[in-house]
């Protein structure tokens, strides 16, 4: 990929630059100081579930090394850090007693960030449900949505003045479709009807949590993070075009319509037929809470081919180590489409980045493809902003190489390399590039 140059100075003066991580992927310390097990702790013990047979017991040991990691953030010149709270760390059973030692960890992390003047952008749920709630039906049990609202209230009450932004969920699409649709993620269920019902309960839980947090003290801005893509038909055939429309409806509109239009998209409801969710009276009023921001995670577009085998995406810019097509143009296309369809609040790109088979050689990690990837996406993002999309920040996924869910440690997304034997952190060239990019943009 040819480098495309865009400078931080071209973005608004108060644009927020950051990196992102999530609790289960980096913290480790999976049973330390009273933490309860999560569905990912359980899922990792299922034979064959994680490609390299690994688990999150140690991960990047961030629980013990958070100071070093905050120092890294500070060296990178970022304004903000997006991370998630592990619900079972602060409430081991997902209801009842709070674990003060667990809250203590986030208290220290927030102090360390504040000391370095780095804004905290926190996600309440990045997929690690307390196993005790799973034992009672997990997200298939509507009661879990109420437990989530209790947890959200408590977090906002305690930390609401020390956190810039709180997101309820990260990528509920994944929880529903990968957790319950094809068993790739915890809790490992493959059942379409369950997955559709779970997506509804996740949306209800988002609405209840927003209401609860609005009632709690604290100035944090509140929103949700969705993974989104445009869906392009592989050819002009009717079948491919229909597939692309279905894909966009079931993935993007499925979460956006309830939040902004108090309904599910008709096309998706028709497609689901008898698998459509049970919706109670008043649910859309709960779900459609006003948002202070919407987080958008963008990695690729959906390439829709109804042929067997499907036509591969053209990928003129190549693919990443996840086999995801590199398609920066999809980002402005998506944002402009969303702007045309919905009354959007301010947006943040809450995740964007690429996996690469990185290795340390003579003390450095050369990852020019990642630098080109980020530059191309920033240039594309900048174009969308010039066309009127209100984007307030960008978070590079990820600060550190980490536990990439069912791929284990085999896929490296970090701009900082982690040696899992020694826990040594090494800045990749992309981290040095991001640091300099931000330093030059400094006002």
Q: Which residues of the chain form contacts with ligand FCB (CB under 6 A)?
A: 22, 25, 170-171, 174, 227, 297, 351, 397, 404-405, 413
Buried b vs exposed e over 384-420: b needs ≥16 C-beta within 10 Å? bbeeebebbbbbbbbbbbbbbbbbbbebbbbbbbbee
The string of DSSP codes covering 90-137 is HSTTSSS---HHHHHHHHHHHHHHHHTT-EEEEEEESS--BHHHHTTT
How far apart CA 96 and CA 346 sit, in angstroms, is 35
Residues 191, 251, 173: CA angle, nearest 5 degrees: 60
Scanning 233-311, the segments in alpha helix (DSSP H) are 238-248, 254-261, 266-272, 283-287
Between residues 22 and 205, which has the closer beta carbon with respect to ligand FCB?
22
Between residues 22 and 194, which has the closer beta carbon with respect to ligand FCB?
22
Active-site residue flag, 341: no
Q: Please, what sign has the CA dihedral across residues 337, 342, 346, 349?
A: negative
Which helix or strand (DSSP H or E) is residue 202 part of? Answer: helix 192-214
Q: Smallest distance, Å, CB 29 to ligand FCB?
A: 18
Between residues 89 and 158, which has the closer beta carbon with respect to ligand FCB?
89
Between residues 91 and 406, which has the closer beta carbon with respect to ligand FCB?
406
Bridge partners, 294 (sequence order): 224, 347
Between residues 32 and 322, which has the closer beta carbon with respect to ligand FCB?
322
Q: Smallest distance, Å, CB 416 to ligand FCB?
A: 15
Chain position carrying tokens 């879990």 = 144
Between residues 159 and 300, which has the closer beta carbon with respect to ligand FCB?
300
Q: Smallest distance, Å, CB 237 to ligand FCB?
A: 30
Bridge partners, 232 (sequence order): 303
| Catalytic choice (171, 245, 247, 404) | 171
Q: Smallest distance, Å, CB 171 to ligand FCB?
A: 5
Q: Smallest distance, Å, CB 227 to ligand FCB?
A: 5
| Catalytic choice (27, 351, 369, 404) | 351
Residue 341: CB atoms within 10 A of its CB come to 14
Q: What are phi and psi of 392, to 5 degrees?
A: -105, -10
Question: Do 30 and 37 contact (CB within 8 A), yes or no?
Answer: yes
Identify the three-state secondary structure at position 331.
helix
Alpha-carbon dihedral 120, 299, 432, 22, rounded to 10 degrees: 40
Q: Smallest distance, Å, CB 351 to ligand FCB?
A: 6
Give Dmax over CA atoms of the chain in angstroms: 63
How far apart CA 439 and CA 260 sit, in angstroms, is 37
Q: Smallest distance, Å, CB 57 to ligand FCB?
A: 18
What angle in degrees, to the nearest 10, is found between the helix axes of 100-115 and 143-159? 50
Between residues 174 and 378, which has the closer beta carbon with respect to ligand FCB?
174
Between residues 170 and 253, which has the closer beta carbon with respect to ligand FCB?
170
Active-site residue flag, 329: no
Count of all residues that appear for the chain in the document: 443
Chain position carrying tokens 């067997």 = 308
How far apart CA 313 and CA 62 sit, in angstroms, is 37
Q: Smallest distance, Å, CB 12 to ligand FCB?
A: 26
Catalytic residue ranges: 171, 351
């Amino acid at each position: 990929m040819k480098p495309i140059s865009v400078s931080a100075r071209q973005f608004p003066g108060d644009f927020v630059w950051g990196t992102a991580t999530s609790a289960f992927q980096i913290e480790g310390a999976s049973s330390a100081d009273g933490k309860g097990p999560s569905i990912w702790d359980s899922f990792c013990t299922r034979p064959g579930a994680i490609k390299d047979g690994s688990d999150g017991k140690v991960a990047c040991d961030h629980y013990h090394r958070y100071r070093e990691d905050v120092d890294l953030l500070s060296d990178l010149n970022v304004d903000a850090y997006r991370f998630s709270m592990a619900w079972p760390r602060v409430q081991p059973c997902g209801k009842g007693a709070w674990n003060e030692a667990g809250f203590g960890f986030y208290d220290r992390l927030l102090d360390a960030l504040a000391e370095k003047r780095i804004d905290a952008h926190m996600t309440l749920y990045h997929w690690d449900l307390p196993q005790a709630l799973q034992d009672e039906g997990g997200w298939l049990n509507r009661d879990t949505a109420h437990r989530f609202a209790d947890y959200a209230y408590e977090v906002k009450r305690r930390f609401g003045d020390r956190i810039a932004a709180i997101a309820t969920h990260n990528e509920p699409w994944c929880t529903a479709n990968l957790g319950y649709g094809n068993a790739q993620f915890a809790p490992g269920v493959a059942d379409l009807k369950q997955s559709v019902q779970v997506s509804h309960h996740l949306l209800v839980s988002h609405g209840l949590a927003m209401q609860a947090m609005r009632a709690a003290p604290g100035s944090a801005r509140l929103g949700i993070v969705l993974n989104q893509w445009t869906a392009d038909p592989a050819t002009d055939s009717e079948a491919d075009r229909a597939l692309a429309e279905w894909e966009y409806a079931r993935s993007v509109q499925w979460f956006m319509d309830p939040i902004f239009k108090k309904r599910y998209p008709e096309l998706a409801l028709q497609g689901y037929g008898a698998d459509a969710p049970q919706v109670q009276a008043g649910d859309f009023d709960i779900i459609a809470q006003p948002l202070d921001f919407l987080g958008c995670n963008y990695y690729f577009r959906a390439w829709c081919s109804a042929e067997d085998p499907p036509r591969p995406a053209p990928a003129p810019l190549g693919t990443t180590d996840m086999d995801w097509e590199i398609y920066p143009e999809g980002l402005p296309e998506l944002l402009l489409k969303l702007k045309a369809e919905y009354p959007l609040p301010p947006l943040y790109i809450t995740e964007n980045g690429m996996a690469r088979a990185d290795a340390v050689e003579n003390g450095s990690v050369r990852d020019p493809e990642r630098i080109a990837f980020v530059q191309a996406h920033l240039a594309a993002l900048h174009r969308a902003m010039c066309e009127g999309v209100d984007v307030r920040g960008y978070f590079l996924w990820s600060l550190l190489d980490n536990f990439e869910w069912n791929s284990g440690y085999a896929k490296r997304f970090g701009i900082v390399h982690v040696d899992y034997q020694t826990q040594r952190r090494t800045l990749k060239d992309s981290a040095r590039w991001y640091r300099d990019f931000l330093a030059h943009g400094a006002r």
